[in-house]
Amino acid sequence: MALLDSFFQKFSKDIGIDLGTANTLVYVKGKGIVINEPSVVALNTKTKQILAIGNDAKRMVGRTPPHIVASRPLVDGVVSDFEITEQMLRYFINKVHQKTFSFLRRPRVVIGIPSGVTEVEKRAVQDAALNAGARMAFLIEEPMAAAIGSRLPVQDAAGSMIVDIGGGTAEIAVISLGGVVISRSIRMAGDKMNESIIQYARDNFNLLLGERTAEEVKIRIGSAYALEQPLETAMRGRDLVTGLPKEVIVNDTQIRAALEPAVRTIVNNIKSAVEETPPELVADLMQRGITLAGGGALLRGLDRLVHEKTEIPVHIADDPLTAVCRGTGVVVEDLETLKDVLVNTSFEKTPR
């Protein structure tokens, strides 16, 4: 068995997956990040056939006939549709291994999961990975993966704080000696910010926006702190009164007001996590600061606001969007040494 295992290890391409609500990123051992596609699946509800996955499916969102549904199989960072998640994982694993022989498509897989998930949800992710072709499936909590990907010294006897704001969840954690000391996982992140913009447009302009439009507005002019240079952009949608197309020009102050409840919730949870942190580790945080990762870290002025509210230095990780995936990649490259940072369950595909 050990000989067979070493054979597979030699030839299979072990992979790390950031299975996000909004995007799925795949890291291949020895190659780096090779896939970065939306976590979207287009399904024909009549035939139950999957028509497209990833970028191709994202282009269909909001543009499909009634019997074709472009949806996300993950909601708030956890599996909401097991079968479609499995198909999506199989698609990404096959895409990585399409140039290898079929009997070698049995990689070991490390998958990032939110820190607040239940045992059932953990098992659902692992089963999906194993059924999709993984030989072994390991889980790592997203804040730990983001900290490793941000090059924080997680195995030192000193505190590091990471805030990973993704699409479905915001993960807040204080890490020391390779373990999570304090963690909070809140279902308030990028998607909720998009919903806030949609609701703001509806309430203030009688304008119905699509999800993609709201996200584009957030990226173009969204902010958490007053900007020195004012920004504005056009919001295009449907007038709820006339039913006709309508365009409204909005500025950063208006969108900041729309985002304020979501931003306030995240910042308050960061403050609460700091308040719960043991004094020795707080002293370390004062020196090392808080690291922001995930797509939400790119919201203008968020680092400044968090610094103002916590009085702790705040840094944005290099390429925050890929921090979790890079963290799974570091673990994949040295699985034996870093196995202590994994969630302490691992399952192997049993032969049938």
pLDDT digits (tens, 9 = 90+) for 264-317: 999 999 999 999 999 999 999 999 999 999 999 999 999 999 999 999 999 999
Tell me the pLDDT band of 54, cut-offs 50, 70 and 90. Answer: confident
**Model confidence band, residue 5 (pLDDT cutoffs 50, 70, 90):** low
pLDDT at 87 over 80: yes
Give me the residues paired with residue 232 across strands: 251
CATH architecture of 151-317: 2-Layer Sandwich (3.30)
Q: Which amino acid is at 290?
A: I
- Region 80-101: what's the mean pLDDT? 78
Instruction: Provide the residue ranges of all domains of the chain, joining segments of one domain with +.
Output: 2-145+323-348, 151-317
Residue with tokens 């995930």: 294
Q: Which amino acid is at 27?
A: Y
pLDDT at 143: 93
Intrachain domains 2-145+323-348 and 151-317 with the same fold: yes
CATH 3.30.420.40: does it fit domain 2-145+323-348? yes
290: its two tokens: 């808080």
Taking CA atoms, 190 is separated from 108, 167, 218, 247, 257, in Å, by 30, 4, 9, 24, 15
Outline where DSSP puts E strands in 94-200. Answer: 108-113, 136-141, 160-165, 170-176, 179-186
| pLDDT band per the 50, 70, 90 thresholds, residue 7 | low
- Residues 341-351 have pLDDT tens digits of 888 654 555 44
Confidence at 89, pLDDT banded by 50, 70, 90:
confident
Least trusted range by pLDDT, from 5-14, 81-90, 146-155, 258-267? 5-14
Distance of CA 223 to the CA centre of its chain: 20
Confidence of residue 63 (pLDDT cuts 50, 70, 90): confident
Percent of the chain with pLDDT over 70: 92
Digit-coded pLDDT (tens) for 92-106: 888 887 754 445 557
Q: Tell me the average pLDDT across 159-165.
A: 95
Pick the more confident residue, 10 or 340: 340
Alpha-carbon distance 345 to 281, whole Å? 28
Report the distance separating Cα 219 and Cα 211, nearest Å: 12
CB 50 within 8 A of CB 60: no
pLDDT tens per residue, range 135-145: 899 999 999 99
User: Exposed, middle or buried by CB within 10 Å (0-12, 13-18, 19+), for 160?
Assistant: buried
User: Average pLDDT over the chain, rounded to whole?
Assistant: 87
Classify 177 as helix, strand or coil: coil
pLDDT bucket at 352, cuts 50 / 70 / 90? very low
Q: Judging by DSSP bridges, how do beta strands 232-239 and 207-208 pair with one another?
A: antiparallel
With 90 as the cut, is the pLDDT of residue 43 above it? no
pLDDT digits (tens, 9 = 90+) for 230-252: 999 999 999 999 999 999 999 99
CA geometry: angle 267, 270, 274, nearest 5 deg: 140
Q: What is the pLDDT of residue 145?
A: 94
**Closest C-alpha to 327, from 199, 175, 195:** 175
User: 51 exposed, middle or buried (CB, 10 Å; 0-12, 13-18, 19+)?
Assistant: middle
pLDDT digits (tens, 9 = 90+) for 180-205: 999 998 989 999 999 999 999 999 99
Report the pLDDT value the prediction gives residue 19, as an integer from 0 to 100: 86
Hey, what are 267's tokens?
């910042």
Evaluate whether 197 touches 258 at the Cβ level (below 8 Å): yes
The three-class DSSP label of residue 131 is helix
